[in-house]
Amino acid sequence: MKPSFLIFAPILATTAFGGEVKLTIEIPQLDAAEYHRPYVAAWIEKPDRSVATDLTVWYDAKNKKGTSWLKDLRQWWRKSGRSAELPIDGVSGPTRPVGKHELDLSDKAAAIAPLPDGEYTLVVEAAREVGGREMVRIPFKWDGKTAVDAADTGKTELGAVKFTIQPEP
């Protein structure tokens, strides 16, 4: 069992390279006296809850003090942010306004494709200055070939979240 896995693993990794990865994050309209756009991070967690790959992180990089609030994305900061060199190439981006944001993350397919079969979790975390914090956790199965279509909705700081992976045939 183990030897054959070792033989096949590299082949799987090279053949299942690529595919289409999409993530939609909705920032809800909130009735707040003082409104700041939320900081948002999205990542994929392995079955042991460690980070498989970061997908995106939105923060105010133009403000000199902008990175000082990254710790408010508590779980992301703990699991990934604090050990990363900022900005993270291909991951860091500016904050976004209220609305639905569809992200094409197909450049992350190379990191997702070789992940071993298992139960993964898409996590989206949002934290707003002088506001709340929310995490949406969406479990999904990954076997390298079956398409993923997962969705859930936040209650306070996040609206609809939709995540799809279309592996390369």
152 near other proteins, judged by CB under 8 A: no
Q: Which is nearer to other proteins, 82 or 100 (CB)?
A: 82
CA atoms within 13 A on the CB side of 19: 25
Window of 5-13, 19-27, 28-36, 74-82 that interacts with other proteins by CB under 8 A = 74-82
Return the H-helix or E-strand segment holding 163: strand 160-166
**Minimal distance, residue 135 CB to other proteins, in Å:** 8
The torsion angles phi and psi of 166, rounded to 5 degrees, stand at -115, 95
Q: Is 56 in the site for other proteins (CB under 8 A)?
A: no
97-121 burial, b if ≥16 CB within 10 A, otherwise e? eeeebebebeebbeebbebeeeebb
Q: Which of 24, 26, 36, 62 minimizes the C-alpha distance to 132?
A: 36
The contact pattern for other proteins, residues 98-137, with x = CB under 8 A and - = no contact, is -----------------------------------x----
DSSP state of 116: P
Residue 74 binds other proteins (CB under 8 A): yes
**Total residues interacting with other proteins, rule: CB under 8 A:** 15
Residue 61 in the binding site for other proteins (CB under 8 A): no
Residues of this chain that interact with other proteins (CB under 8 A) are: 65-71, 74-75, 77-78, 81-83, 133
